[in-house]
Structure 1
Amino acid sequence: MQVVQSPVIPIVGELIRNFPGTISLGQGVVYYPPPPEATDLTKFFADPTNHQYKAIEGIAPLIAAIKAKLQTFNGIELDKQCIMVTAGSNMGFMNALLAITSVGDEVILQTPYYFNHEMAIQIAGCHSVFVLTDENYQLRPEAIAQAITSKTKAVVTISPNNPTGAVYSQEALREVNQLCRDRGIYHISDEAYEYFTYDGINHVSPGGFPQSHAQTISLYSLSKAYGFASWRIGYMVIPEHLLVPIKKVQDTNLICPPVISQYAALGALQTGFDYCRSHIQAIARVRQLVLRSLNSLQGLCTIAPAHGAFYFFLKVHTQLDAFELTERLIREHRVAVLPGTAFGMDRGCYLRVAYGALQESTAKEGMERLVKGLQTILT
Structure 2
Amino acid sequence: MLPLNPALAATFRPPVMEARRWLAGLTFPPERPLINLSQAAPVEPPPEPLRRAMAEAALERADAHLYGPVLGRPELREAVARDWSRAYAGTIRPEEVAITQGCNQAFCAAIQSLAGPGDEVILPAPWYFNHKMWLDMQGIRTVPVRCGAEMVPDAAEAARLVTERSRAIVLVSPNNPSGAEYPAETLRAFAELARSRSLALVLDETYRDFDAREGAPHDLFADPDWGEVLIHLYSFSKAYRLTGHRVGAVIASPARMAEIEKFLDTVAICAGQIGQIGAAWGMANLRDWLAGERAEILARRAAMAEGMAEGMAQLPGWRVKGCGAYFTWAEHPFDMPAPDLAQRLLREAGVLLLPGTMFMPEGDVQGARHVRIAFANADRDGIAALMQRLEAFRP
- 2:89 corresponding residue in structure 1: 75
Distance across 2 between alignment mates of 1:24 and 1:368? 15
1:300 aligns with 2:308: no
Question: What letter matches 2:277 in structure 1?
Answer: Y
C-alpha contact 2:77 2:94 (8 A) present in aligned 1 = no
1:314 aligns with 2:327: no
Equivalent residue pairs, number = 374
Q: Which moved more, 1:99-108 or 1:286-295?
A: 286-295
- 1:92 corresponding residue in structure 2: 106
Distance across 1 between alignment mates of 2:287 and 2:153? 28
Q: Which moved more, 1:363-372 or 1:222-231?
A: 363-372
Query: Deviating runs (4+, > 6 A) in structure 1?
Result: none
C-alpha contact 1:37 1:267 (8 A) present in aligned 2 = no
Q: Report the alpha carbon displacement of residue 339 of structure 1 after superposing the two structures with TM.
A: 0.4
| 1:203-352 → structure 2 map (5 Å cutoff) | 203-204=217-218, 206-295=220-309, 296=312, 299-306=316-323, 308-344=324-360, 346-348=364-366, 349-352=369-372
Shift of the 190–143 alpha-carbon distance from structure 1 to 2, 3 Å rule, reads same
- 1:39 corresponding residue in structure 2: 51
C-alpha contact 1:109 1:131 (8 A) present in aligned 2 = yes
Distance across 2 between alignment mates of 1:207 and 1:121? 26
| 1:128-277 → structure 2 map (5 Å cutoff) | 128-198=142-212, 203-204=217-218, 206-277=220-291
Question: What letter matches 1:27 in structure 2?
Answer: Q
Q: Report the alpha carbon displacement of residue 372 of structure 1 after superposing the two structures with TM.
A: 2.4
Q: Which moved more, 1:125-134 or 1:340-349?
A: 340-349
C-alpha contact 2:80 2:94 (8 A) present in aligned 1 = no
Distance across 2 between alignment mates of 1:239 and 1:361? 45
Shift of the 364–31 alpha-carbon distance from structure 1 to 2, 3 Å rule, reads farther
Question: What letter matches 1:78 in structure 2?
Answer: I
1:353 aligns with 2:373: yes
C-alpha contact 1:107 1:129 (8 A) present in aligned 2 = yes
Q: Which runs of 5+ in 2 are unaligned?
A: 1-7, 28-32
| TM-score normalised according to structure 1 size | 0.93
Q: Which moved more, 1:161-170 or 1:2-11?
A: 2-11
3-state DSSP of counterpart to 1:351: strand
Distance across 2 between alignment mates of 1:309 and 1:12? 21
The higher-RCO structure (CA 8 Å, 6+ apart) is: 1
Over the aligned positions, Cα root-mean-square deviation in angstroms equals: 2.0
Q: Report the alpha carbon displacement of residue 290 of structure 1 after superposing the two structures with TM.
A: 1.8
1:28 aligns with 2:45: no
Q: Report the alpha carbon displacement of residue 49 of structure 1 after superposing the two structures with TM.
A: 3.8
Q: Which moved more, 1:183-192 or 1:63-72?
A: 63-72
C-alpha contact 1:87 1:234 (8 A) present in aligned 2 = yes
Question: What letter matches 1:303 in structure 2?
Answer: V
C-alpha contact 1:34 1:268 (8 A) present in aligned 2 = no
3-state DSSP of counterpart to 1:213: helix
Question: What letter matches 2:130 in structure 1?
Answer: N
Shift of the 251–215 alpha-carbon distance from structure 1 to 2, 3 Å rule, reads same
Question: What letter matches 2:338 in structure 1?
Answer: A
Distance across 2 between alignment mates of 1:49 and 1:267? 16
Identity percentage of aligned residues: 26
Question: What letter matches 1:151 in structure 2?
Answer: R
Q: Which moved more, 1:197-206 or 1:239-248?
A: 197-206
Q: Report the alpha carbon displacement of residue 273 of structure 1 after superposing the two structures with TM.
A: 2.9
Q: Report the alpha carbon displacement of residue 15 of structure 1 after superposing the two structures with TM.
A: 1.9
Q: Give the alignment partner of residue 113 of structure 1, picking from 105, 113, 127.
A: 127
3-state DSSP of counterpart to 1:110: strand
Shift of the 81–68 alpha-carbon distance from structure 1 to 2, 3 Å rule, reads same
3-state DSSP of counterpart to 2:77: helix
C-alpha contact 1:39 1:267 (8 A) present in aligned 2 = no
Distance across 2 between alignment mates of 1:208 and 1:367? 43
Shift of the 76–125 alpha-carbon distance from structure 1 to 2, 3 Å rule, reads farther
| TM-score normalised according to structure 2 size | 0.89
C-alpha contact 2:70 2:269 (8 A) present in aligned 1 = yes
1:60 aligns with 2:74: yes
3-state DSSP of counterpart to 2:238: coil
Q: Which moved more, 1:202-211 or 1:103-112?
A: 202-211
C-alpha contact 2:118 2:141 (8 A) present in aligned 1 = yes
- 2:388 corresponding residue in structure 1: 368
3-state DSSP of counterpart to 1:195: helix
CA-to-aligned-CA distance 1:69-100 (integer Å, 9 cap, x gap): 21222334115961010011100000011111
Question: What letter matches 2:239 in structure 1?
Answer: A
C-alpha contact 1:114 1:343 (8 A) present in aligned 2 = yes
C-alpha contact 1:31 1:358 (8 A) present in aligned 2 = no
Shift of the 195–248 alpha-carbon distance from structure 1 to 2, 3 Å rule, reads same
